[in-house]
Amino acid sequence: MSVTAPSNATSTATITLDATGQSTKLPLLTGTLGPAVADIRKLPAELGIFTYDPAYGGTAACDSKITYIDGDEGVLLHRGYPIDQLAERATFPEVAYLLLNGELPNQAEHAAFTTELNNHTMLHEQLRHFYNGFNRNAHPMAVICGVVGALSAFYHDSLDINDRGHRELSAMRLIAKMPTIAAWTYKYTHGFPFTYPRNDLNYAENFLHMMFAMPSAPYQVSPVLSRAMDRILILHADHEQNASTSTVRLAGSTGANPFACIAAGIASLWGPAHGGANEAVLKMLGTIGSKDHIADFIAKVKDRSSGVKLMGFGHRVYKNFDPRAKIMQATCHEVLGELGIKHDPLLELAVELERIAIEDEYFVSRKLYPNVDFYSGIILKAMGIPTSMFTVLFAVARTAGWISQWKEMIEEPGQRIGRPRQIYTGAGPRDLVSMAERA
- Supply the residues annotated as catalytic: 315, 373
CA–CA separation, 426 and 138 (whole Å): 39
Contacts of 70 (CB under 8 A, 6+ apart): 33, 34
Instruction: Specify the residue, 277 or 285, whose C-beta has the smaller distance to ligand SDX.
Output: 277
Nearer to ligand SDX, 159 or 379 (CB): 379
Number of H helices, E strands in the chain: 18, 6
Nearest to 369 by CA among 314, 421, 331: 314
Nearer to ligand SDX, 100 or 301 (CB): 301
Phi then psi dihedrals of residue 277, to 5 deg: -70, -30
Q: Which residues here bind ligand SDX, judged by CB under 6 A?
A: 239, 242, 273-275, 277, 301, 309-317, 366, 368, 371-373
Hey, is 10 helix, strand or coil?
strand
Least CB distance to ligand SDX at residue 312 (A): 5
Minimum distance of ligand SDX from residue 171's CB (angstroms): 19
Nearer Cβ to ligand SDX (164/366): 366
| Furthest CA-CA distance within the chain | 79
Taking the C-alpha atoms of residue 386 and residue 320, their distance in angstroms, rounded to an integer, is 30
CB of 203 to ligand SDX, least distance (A): 20
DSSP string, 351-384: HHHHHHHTTSHHHHHTT--B-THHHHHHHHHHTT
CB of residue 303 vs ligand SDX: minimum separation in angstroms? 11
CB 37 to ligand SDX: min, Å: 18
Residues forming beta bridges with residue 70, ordered by sequence position: 75
Nearer to ligand SDX, 99 or 372 (CB): 372
Pick 121 or 278: Cβ nearer ligand SDX: 278
- Cβ of residue 54: shortest distance to ligand SDX, in angstroms? 11
Angle between helices 164-189 and 107-118 (to 10 degrees): 60
Query: DSSP string spanning 190-229?
Result: TTPPP----TTS-HHHHHHHHHH-BTTB--PPPHHHHHHH
Contact 352, 238 (CB under 8 A): no
> By Cβ distance, which residue is nearest to ligand SDX?
314
